[in-house]
Amino acid sequence: MGPIQKKYTSDFKKNAVLLSYGKKSVNEAAKELDITPKLLSKWRVTYQQYKEGSFPGKGKKRVYYDDLKIFELEKKLVESKLRLNILKEGIKFKHEGKKAIYNFINQNKKKYPITIMCNVLGVSTSMYNLRIQHPLSKREIQLNQFKEAITSIFYEFKQYKGCVLIARELNKRGLQISEDQVTFFMNQLGLKRKVKRKYKVTTDSKHNLYIPPNILNRNFTAVKPSQVWVSDITYLQIDKRFLYLTVIIDLYDRKIVGWNISSGLSTNTTILPAWKMAGNNRQIKEGLLFHSDRGTQYANKIFSSILKENNCIQSMSRKGNSVDNAVAESFFNSLKRELIKKQTRLLSPKEMRAEIFDYIENWYNKKRRHSSLNYKTIEEFNQEI
């Protein structure tokens, strides 16, 4: 058996060369370092050629120092692009829980390195390996199903629903889960609804026009369609100015039967177009009670005459009492919490009109569950009658 060959680290080789430059001869330096002069001379020749890239380590190719820096930068750039691609493809699974992340990693292990995927997506490599080797228990599977279902509903309905409505929706779809469980899982998943915020008043009640009495008197129920309609106007802030939304709600099923967006607050641009739409969507029956605030849009002779011509009864809230028109106020609170406050920038007029149309026609009148209808959608409520 021959003599054991010594192994030297990259740092040792580099330091040996640098030390030899300070000695009188290679022999003197070699003797001090306990290596052969021939080996030290070989290292010196290599260092003179490659400098800092002389001793890269076993299995690695020598490169010139400048080339090495470029190589390292290119390597970092490739890795950054790789991490970005992983993040783009995997970020959508972050809200669905670790099981979904593990599945994503397992499905893409031939495409991306497992270690980098785990690091980018914030999971432990050891836990990933454990989960792949040992599948989840029945209880863990059930909990993940709950989380996935809650997250799916939350984003399906554009983050409008809170724990109560999500629980009702899941029960409707056959998944038995309590409101407390939904609350617990939403807190775990970081799913939060937006809080309400105040908005400006658009009512001009300082006028000398005739004010009808408050016939509705906070009786916000109706036993048939077109028995009681309520209406109100709110502002919508857009880029550099405001738009104004007028709505008419049928208290029977809480449907928005008429609405209009305008750039001004005149009667011709607010309540009249909304009234025309309401008449096209639902029959205006004799004796219909129409309730609103005391704004000039409702109190002027033009609109009052239209109500009289249709044999409708006009009712108005008491001065400074928004609760008298609570249903319309509640709708605007929901609209601003569920839609307006979610916007990250001020919309253009065209964008705002499109968002309002989608919210009223596709969401509020069709998919949203209303507590006043025993958490049914408007369509479900009308189908049961």
Residues 214-227 have pLDDT tens digits of: 999 999 999 999 99
Q: Does 197 have pLDDT greater than 50?
A: no
pLDDT confidence of residue 196 = 46
154 vs 351, which has greater pLDDT? 351
Torsion region of 34: left, alpha or beta (phi above 0 gives left; psi -120 to 50 gives alpha): left
What average pLDDT does the segment 136-160 reach? Answer: 76
Higher pLDDT, 235 or 11: 235
pLDDT band, very low/low/confident/very high, at 139 (cuts 50, 70, 90): confident
Confidence of residue 379 (pLDDT cuts 50, 70, 90): very high
pLDDT digits (tens, 9 = 90+) for 95-127: 777 778 888 888 888 888 888 888 888 888 888
Q: Is the pLDDT of residue 131 over 80?
A: no
- Averaged pLDDT, 226-242: 92
Kindly list the domain boundaries of the chain, sorted by start residue: 10-62, 67-133, 138-189, 228-384
Domain 228-384 in CATH 3.40.50.1820? The answer is no
Please determine, for residue 77, whether its predicted confidence score (pLDDT) is greater than 90.
no
pLDDT of residue 350: 93
| Residue range 12-68, pLDDT digits in tens | 887 888 777 777 788 888 888 888 888 888 888 887 777 766 776 676 666 655 555
Range 171-198 average pLDDT: 77
Flag whether pLDDT at 283 surpasses 90: yes
Higher pLDDT: 71 or 302? It is 302
The pLDDT tens digits for 241-274 are: 899 999 999 999 999 999 999 999 999 999 999 9
